[in-house]
Amino acid sequence: MKLKNEYINRIKDELADEFSSYEKTLEEDSIKALRVNTLKGRVDKFINNNEWNIKNEDKVPWCSEGFYIEGLEINDSDKLLPPGKHPYHSAGVYYIQEPSAMAPVEELDVQEGLKILDLCASPGGKTTQIAAKMKGQGILFANEPYPLRAKNLSENVERMGITNCVVISHEPWQIEEKFNEYFDRILVDAPCSGEGMFRKNEEAINEWSLDNVIMCAKRQKEILNSAYKMLSCGGRMVYSTCTFSKDEDENNVNWFLDEYKDMKLVKMDKLWPHKIKGEGHFLAVFEKIGDGENVAKEKNRQDTKKGRKDKEKDAENPKNLVEFMDFSKEFFNKPLENILVHEYKFIKFGDELYAAPKELPSLDKLKVLRLGLHLGTLKKNRFEPSLSLALALDESDVNNSVSLSYDETLMYLRGETINRESKKGWCLLNYGGYSVGFGKSSSNVIKNHYPKGLRNY
């Protein structure tokens, strides 16, 4: 690994006697892990049923849902696919995530029912980790300024079966006024110079420069300014990077505390790859001093009412939902509110129907990529359910569920028809107790409804 001299000189000064230990780790393989998605089932369900013999002793120390997966000797010619290509991945059973990147959310103090913002959210590892801890309760906003990255984020939110998340795409300064002191928790996983990515991604070494470090530090200050304005009094914020530069880490923390006297530093930690089993991360935990009363509460309540009024004409009238109600009566074996957990309202864009958190504020003038749970499409005299809905369901939620074999699941994910006797109509297809999508059964054949753009097995 060819590191630039400017980097070596700086890191030598910082680490002193530890530099040789750090340098040695850079010649080792990167550390791989996955985090079990508890929205799809308990951790012990995965441990008891996973096909790679991942065990409790492989657990990431700082994340009870995280497990190391390096050393799995599997190649694409084997019948058993690696975790990133296995049907469990498509079903959102887990998220493949660098282990030290799991640490910041563990410090966010996520609780059910809160309003939470992941301000720099792509590709979605930390967003989906937050969502699992929320258990479907409260409102989660995931923001990513760059459209292509925001699309990837939205797809991961769908894959993980998250029902209470709104994905938006804005620069932080564009939304700070709209969400003034609105959020109880904010995660700022800021874009950085990526020094913790050197072992994992050689391109990060090529792109590194002192100028880039300075540019990133400046950008991070701007993001922190916006985050401060959106954090409610009494709220908690975690600032994190995957770099080791003091300009982007400790110096930015000190600047932030000098800038905002009502912010208290609760914890600061730097995870070095020669000290922990991971690529490395930095995190700082802040709390906004106050009594917890949100001064923007009345404004947000007014925005929520305005948002409801704007959308009432779209979907609240039951006459607009006849096809979905007919589908629900036939397909679900319990009320939708028992499936979604949170209180919701219907929102309709064109023919697309969504179930959004009931207390959702106005989304006027926001670029929204995902709005709660996409239920499906209202077509003439019928309703066609979406993949998002399938991935948010469990076989215990529906009247018609079909368990597929490993080979049948691969066939389904390729877009092939399944020859199987089943109750006529829509059916939820499962593999290993996890939903993978919808099919429609007729004459001993299950027609494939897996989206064409995702068929890649």
The residues assigned a catalytic role are 242
Q: Name the residue among 196, 190, 189, 193 with its Cα closest to residue 271.
A: 196
Q: What is the rounded CA–CA span in Å between residue 81 and residue 75?
A: 7
CA distance readout (Å), 258 to 162, 247, 254:
38, 15, 6
Handedness of CA 172, 177, 178, 182 (dihedral sign): positive
**φ and ψ of 281, to 5 deg:** -160, 160
b/e 308-319 (16+ beta carbons within 10 angstroms → b): beebeeebeeee
- Closest among 433, 429, 431, 452 to 441, alpha carbons compared: 429
The 3-state secondary structure of 205-267, one letter per residue: HHHCCHHHHHHHHHHHHHHHHHHHHHEEEEEEEEEEECCCCCCCCHHHHHHHHHHCCCEEEEE
Report d(CA 258, CA 445) in Å as an integer.
Answer: 67
Beta strands in 315-421 (DSSP E): 344-349, 352-357, 368-371, 373-379, 382-385, 401-403, 418-419
